[in-house]
């Protein structure tokens, strides 16, 4: 038989569910010391493709109209998502992250060092998320920044009302005329790989998500960061950026938390992206402000929903 005939024959069988909810579940203990007779359940490659694509396109369909879009899955964006998703299971929340790996700059405490420092009272957020820490008086230390980020990420992803679209970049904002001049009404997204081909492919248009509230947490300026606030300048919605200032942990953290707000109607900015608008100091490797800016961004968003 010719090889290409194979999928047609196997399609019917493969489209049947390989296992039912009532199937006996093997335990690890049953596998141990029994490796000679070990075998995975059978699968066809197309089944794997369909299992992924069917869900992804359903997610794209569901979230084309979202309630809230969070741009950037760094420490601030994930903190925002955690608070919002827990407070309002009825809201559809899409997180758009340009990188493959969510977490932004929060996989290490700073430089190559593992521990993550948070100044009090941000320890309250760690207790909410369920991350252990050592209490050092005015500050607490999580033994590895990755423990904070992975725990927070796992909680966020487990909420049924949250969808993370990673490897997806926000490349523009959707706007609507409004009394205040303009309102932000959604985001324009594109696959990172597609956007890399803008120079040699002219016919690829981007995708969109409509949402009444956008929360931008894309970090400080760099190849990627501060995307929305830079776009607000080019859209002439704000005159210019203040530019992130030098490092001052004490001044910076308070300023970022207090300054987290709706910058133009429909667009809330939190985390280090805000330092670029306000000309606020950076704080370097202390993360309390990112968590609490997320709490405040969520509060600002809920205020818009409650109006
Ligand atoms: O990939 C970015 C990162 O994960 C993502 N991002 C940026 N532009 C994007 C776009 N579309 C989608 N156009 C985009 N995603 O946003 C995330 C930002 O995470 P981050 O950790 O850089 O920002 P944060 O504000 O959550 O935390 C900043 C923490 C600090 S403070 C500091 C200093 O003082 O020097 N440095 C860092 C990293």
pLDDT tens string 175-228? 999 987 899 999 999 766 677 777 887 777 789 999 999 999 999 998 789 999
Which atom of ligand 1 lies nearest, measured to the CA of 284? 34
CA proximity to 286, closest of 151, 156, 152, 148: 148
Q: Dihedrals φ, ψ of 149, to 5°?
A: -65, -45
Given ligand 1 and candidates 224, 243, 291, 295, which is best to mutate, with the most ligand atoms within 8 Å of its CB?
Answer: 224
Residues with CB under 6 A from ligand 1: 71-77, 96-99, 104-106, 169-170, 217-219, 224-225, 227, 271-273, 282-284, 290
Estimate to the nearest angstrom the gap between the alpha carbon of 52 and the chain centroid. Answer: 19
pLDDT band at 22 (very low <50, low <70, confident <90, very high): low
Comparison of pLDDT for 199 and 232, the residue scoring more: 232
Lookup: tokens for 267: 């667009």
DSSP lists the bridge partners of residue 262 as: 268
In the predicted model, what is the mean pLDDT of residues 139-145?
Answer: 98
* Cα–Cα dist 64/250, whole Å: 41
Report the 10 Å Cβ neighbour count for 286.
19
Please give the distance, rounded to the nearest whole angstrom, from the Cα atom of residue 216 to the centre of ligand 1. 10
Which atom of ligand 1 lies nearest, measured to the CA of 217? 25
* Strand order through the sheet with 68-71: 162-166, 93-97, 68-71, 213-216, 267-269, 261-264
Estimate to the nearest angstrom the gap between the alpha carbon of 250 and the chain centroid. Answer: 27
Please give the distance, rounded to the nearest whole angstrom, from the Cα atom of residue 16 to the centre of ligand 1. 43
Comparison of pLDDT for 115 and 305, the residue scoring more: 115
* Cα–Cα dist 284/274, whole Å: 15
Lookup: tokens for 188: 């324009």
Please give the distance, rounded to the nearest whole angstrom, from the Cα atom of residue 224 to the centre of ligand 1. 8
Going by alpha carbons, the residue nearest to atom 32 of ligand 1 is 284
The answer to whether residue 11 scores a pLDDT higher than 90 is no
* Cα–Cα dist 175/81, whole Å: 23
Going by alpha carbons, the residue nearest to atom 35 of ligand 1 is 284
Please give the distance, rounded to the nearest whole angstrom, from the Cα atom of residue 35 to the centre of ligand 1. 45
Estimate to the nearest angstrom the gap between the alpha carbon of 291 and the chain centroid. Answer: 14
The answer to whether residue 272 scores a pLDDT higher than 90 is yes
Q: What is the mean pLDDT of the chain?
A: 91
Element holding 164 (H helix, E strand): strand 162-166
Which atom of ligand 1 lies nearest, measured to the CA of 227? 13
In the chain, the N- to C-terminal Cα span, in Å, equals: 66
> What are the binding residues for substrate?
76, 97-98, 105, 170, 205, 220, 272, 282-284
ipTM of predicted complex: 0.99
pLDDT attached to residue 193? 66
pLDDT attached to residue 89? 96
pLDDT attached to residue 15? 44
pLDDT attached to residue 6? 41
CB 243, CB 276: distance < 8 Å: yes
Q: Is 269 exposed, middle or buried (0-12, 13-18, 19+ CB in 10 A)?
A: buried
């Amino acid at each position: 038989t010719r090889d290409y005939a194979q999928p047609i024959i196997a399609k019917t069988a493969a489209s049947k569910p390989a296992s039912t909810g009532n199937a006996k579940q093997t335990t690890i203990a049953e596998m141990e010391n029994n490796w000679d007779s070990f075998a995975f359940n059978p699968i066809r490659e197309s089944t794997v493709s369909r299992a992924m694509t069917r869900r992804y396109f359903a997610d794209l369909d569901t979230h084309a109209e979202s309630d809230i879009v969070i741009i950037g899955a760094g420490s601030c964006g994930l903190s925002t998502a955690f608070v919002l998703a827990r407070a309002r299971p009825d809201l559809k929340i899409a997180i758009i992250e340009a990188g493959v790996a969510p977490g932004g700059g929060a996989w290490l405490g700073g430089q190559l060092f593992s521990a993550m420092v948070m100044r009090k009272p941000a320890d309250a957020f760690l207790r909410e998320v369920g991350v252990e820490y050592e209490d050092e008086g005015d500050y607490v230390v999580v033994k590895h920044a990755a423990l904070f980020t992975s725990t927070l990420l796992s909680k966020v992803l487990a909420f049924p009302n949250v969808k993370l679209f990673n490897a997806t970049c926000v490349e523009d904002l959707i706007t609507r005329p409004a009394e205040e001049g303009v309102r932000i009404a959604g985001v324009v997204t594109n696959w990172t790989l597609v956007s890399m081909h803008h120079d040699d492919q002219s016919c690829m248009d981007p995708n969109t998500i409509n949402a009444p509230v956008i929360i931008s947490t894309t970090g400080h300026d760099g190849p990627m960061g501060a995307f929305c606030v830079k776009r607000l300048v080019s859209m002439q919605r704000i005159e210019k950026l203040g530019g992130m200032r030098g490092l001052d942990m004490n001044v910076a953290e308070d300023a970022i938390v207090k300054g987290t707000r709706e910058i133009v109607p429909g667009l809330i900015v939190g985390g280090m992206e805000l330092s670029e608008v306000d000309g606020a100091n950076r704080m370097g490797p202390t993360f309390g402000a990112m968590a609490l800016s997320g709490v405040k961004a969520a509060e600002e968003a809920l205020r818009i929903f409650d109006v």
